Structure 1
Amino acid sequence: MPSAKPLRLASVNVNGVRAAFRKGMGEWLTGRDVDILALQEVRASTEDLQGLLGDEWDILHDPATAKGRAGVAIASRRRAHIHRVELGAADFDTAGRWLEADYEVGDRVITVVSAYVHSGEVGTPKQVEKYKFLDAMVERLPKLAEHSELAVVVGDLNVGHRTLDIKNWKGNVKRAGFLPEERAYFDRFLGAEGDEGYNAGAGLGWVDLGRRDAGEVPGPYTWWSQRGKAFDTDTGWRIDYQLATPALAETMQRYTIDRAAAYDERWSDHAPVVVDYAI
């Protein structure tokens, strides 16, 4: 008998979903055969999302408290039977940044999180909020793994873990997104570079599928500044992830970054990260 079709999970920071659709996101989605679509920086209403995606998609959406900011969503061809949005202390506003959903796939359940970590800014309250969010992730990830052996946190996590993840890493060691303090959180999630078991059970045990697929090579990057020639020269950052539990990581069949063919064909400053899972 032919093998079952893998589950295709795509994640992308759309940098405003309405603008992304005006620039060609719909055409990309039509041709990609996606089963579950995780979005970050939606910056639109649930009604806008439903109108753009169509009625065949079941949509979960957690908008930001401030209108027109952040916002995360998960759209699927199948209906979620549980979803959660709380993260961290009750007085910590994470609206529009963390959305969990469970989906039945055959006789198994996969838990998907669409996450949008703060970009941060050194020496400002924005960086304090970023550390609060990363602290909350440290607390949540073990509970997430206990909840489901097939769990994945996807999205724009706004940290390059290693020097391989940023083209111009030497020029960014004192900037948000590549601070040693930020990268240390990813050491906790995945293990530190050089540690026994790095990305294979170290730390909290999560697996960075992008690094597992690419190996020890620069990039491949997922975000490029809109300024200058960053995209043309591939001066990028790898800050968009799919972090999976070990059991789910073992089912990965294919990992792809859908980098646009040319600068003027981009519909976001981020590229989608697409993974096929044999479940």
Structure 2
Amino acid sequence: MRVVSISVNGLEQAVGKGFFDWIAGQDADVICVQDHRMRAYEVEDRQLVPEGYEAYFIDGENNEDGGVGIYTRHFPKAIMYGFANEQADREGRFIQADFDKVSVACVLAPCALGLEDDPIGGDDLTVLDRKDDFMDAFGVHMQKTLRKRRQFIVCANLQSAHHVTDASPRYHKLDVSGFLPHERAWLDRLFEEMGSIDAFRDINKQSNQFTWWPEWAAGWRKQSGIRVDYQIATPGIRKTIQDGWIDDDTRFSDHAPVVMDYDIEIGF
């Protein structure tokens, strides 16, 4: 089974830049799309579904919140829209497809980079507070997920990097969301205390493996990136991981796709 995760900064613009042509050459079973920035019904209405795939999408109350979706070549047994967190579900940040032997989820965390102290709403909350609240709620959801008997792959743009090797040196010196100590500590809990698997890092220990190059970071596709896009696996998936890579030659958005191969038969 091949699983792709990609944050597109708007699905329609990504398709205009050749996203579906790229998909046609990937032989992927499941493609998780974050940050599609449109109404879910528009995906079908505007024919934004690659040939041979079914589409399942969720949007937020505001298109700018992003929204997530799943393209799959195999009909799922069930689709779960949201994870029972009011704020996250209103913003369209989670969708899950259940197949016979594995579930695949798609997740988009709020971005606070450069907006950390900006107020939001009328409760003296900041953009960083909103992101932290989401991460806390998603962490609780992952704890519940890890207690279940079935296996999960969670494709997520978490808007945060984990280790120093996951961020270029410039981020080590900046006090910005995405590499703050408490954000990295949250990832410590996810991958070390809870026992989730960072599928890409499980087989690739190299440095400079980045997935995001913010527009203000000079040096497109060079060494100014940060790895914020993950395929998070439950422990039983570890033995099935075969290969994985970041396709940083793409130009669909300022994120690169994460492609992972698993020794799992997804069909029935």
Same fold (TM > 0.5)? yes
| Superposition CA RMSD, Å | 1.8
Q: Distance in 1 between matches of 2:242 and 2:252?
A: 26
Q: 1:205 aligns with which of 187, 195, 209?
A: 195
Distance 1:159 1:218 in 2: 16
Q: CA deviation at 1:233?
A: 2.6
How big is each residue's C-alpha offset from its partner over 1:13-46, in whole Å with a ceiling of 9 and x where there is no partner? 0110100011111111111111101000011233
Q: d(CA) in 1 for partners of 2:54 and 2:233?
A: 23
| 1: CA distance, partners of 2:183 / 2:198 | 16
State the match for 1:266 in structure 2.
Answer: 251
- Letter of the structure 2 residue corresponding to residue 212 of structure 1: D
Q: 1:251 aligns to what?
A: 240
Structure 1 CA distance for aligned equivalents of residues 178 and 143 of structure 2: 23
Which residue in 2 is equivalent to 1:176? 177
Task: For residue 148 of structure 1, report the CA deviation from its aligned partner.
Answer: 4.5
Q: CA deviation at 1:89?
A: 4.1
Residue equivalent to 1:230: 219
71, 76, 84: which is aligned to 2:80?
A: 84
Partner of 2:263: 278
Say if 1:58 and 1:102 are closer, same or farther in 2 by CA, change over 3 A. Answer: same
SS of residue matched to 2:232 = strand
Q: How does 1:22-61 map to 2 (within 5 A)?
A: 22-50=16-44, 51-54=47-50, 56-61=52-57
Unaligned segments of structure 2, at least 5 residues = 119-125
Aligned 8 A contact 2:104 2:153 in 1: yes
Flag the 1:161–1:38 CA change in 2: closer, same or farther, 3 A. Answer: same
Matches within 5 A, 1:137-216: 137-167=138-168, 168-172=170-174, 174-191=175-192, 203-215=193-205
Task: Note closer, same or farther for the CA distance 1:224–1:10 as it changes in structure 2 (3 Å cut).
Answer: same
Answer whether contact 2:156 2:232 (CA < 8 A) is retained.
Answer: no
Matches of 2:87 and 2:19 in 1, distance apart? 36
- The code of the aligned residue for 2:260 comes to V
**How far apart are the structure 1 equivalents of 2:39 and 2:149?**
30
Paired letter, 2:12: R
Structure 1 residue 78 displacement after superposition: 1.1
Please tell me the residue identity of whatever aligns with 1:152. Answer: I
Once the two structures are superposed, residues 168-216 of structure 1 have per-residue CA deviations (whole angstroms, 9 ceiling, x without a partner) of: 23222x211111111111111012xxxxxxxxxxx1110111222222x
